[in-house]
Amino acid sequence: MTSFPSLRPVIKLTLTAVIFIFLTLVTSISNAKDVEIPNNAKSAIFAAGCFWCIEKDFEKHDGIYAVYSGYSGGTLENPTYKAISRGDTGHREVVQVWYDESKLDYATLVDILWRNVDPFDANGQFCDKGFQYTAAIYPATSEEREIAEQSKLDIEQKLNQKTTLSIDDAAKFYFAEDYHQNFYQKSPVRYTGYRYACGRDKRLERVWGAEARAEHLPSSKH
């Protein structure tokens, strides 16, 4: 009878790899927001469609302490995902970005935002439609508003077309439900599939070319 090599080493190796991947994912989930934000950190609020995506797009840059998904801009107190999904509460899906001003200034954050949105879509962003998915900058000071408004003028001149991104006064930020926070880490397969199916990166590359996703910035992590 022909003898075959034992499959046990292969099975053992495969099982070890699976356990390693599982523990890596668990660690990334448990540490998702386990960061200390210094008292002198600055914060900014932006809307760019799906907060799952823009959360990751900001977090890849040096100088970012943390990015939280949430809701802002409406009148409903303590909004929920289900409530804002109707599109009639005045809220948008937003992110609150905490950053180190010595490494990134507000103008750079605005640059990152622009290159992660479709600036010509007045009805939402990519495959997500409705007011809650429209793009916006929420300046908290007159200086930030000036930066935001100048950026809009510069982008419209650069792209030779009017943009639909809104510049609205900063409003109260409400944290989204826990399962939305760091969704790209908690559910990487679902996140990647959603982002691809939504056509986000394809559209960004069509609009921004090599500048898409702000990966050209010196502060971008690779």
Phi, psi of 190, deg, nearest 5: -65, -40
List the catalytic residue out of 50, 53, 127, 198.
50
127 is catalytic: no
Return d(Cα 136, Cα 72) in angstroms, integer.
Answer: 10
Q: Which two tokens stand for residue 123?
A: 């009805």
Cβ neighbours, 10 Å, residue 53 = 25
Look-up: residue for tokens 């070319």? 209
CA-to-CA distance for 19 and 216, rounded, in angstroms?
36
> Helix and strand tally (H, E) in the chain?
8, 8
Residues with catalytic function: 50
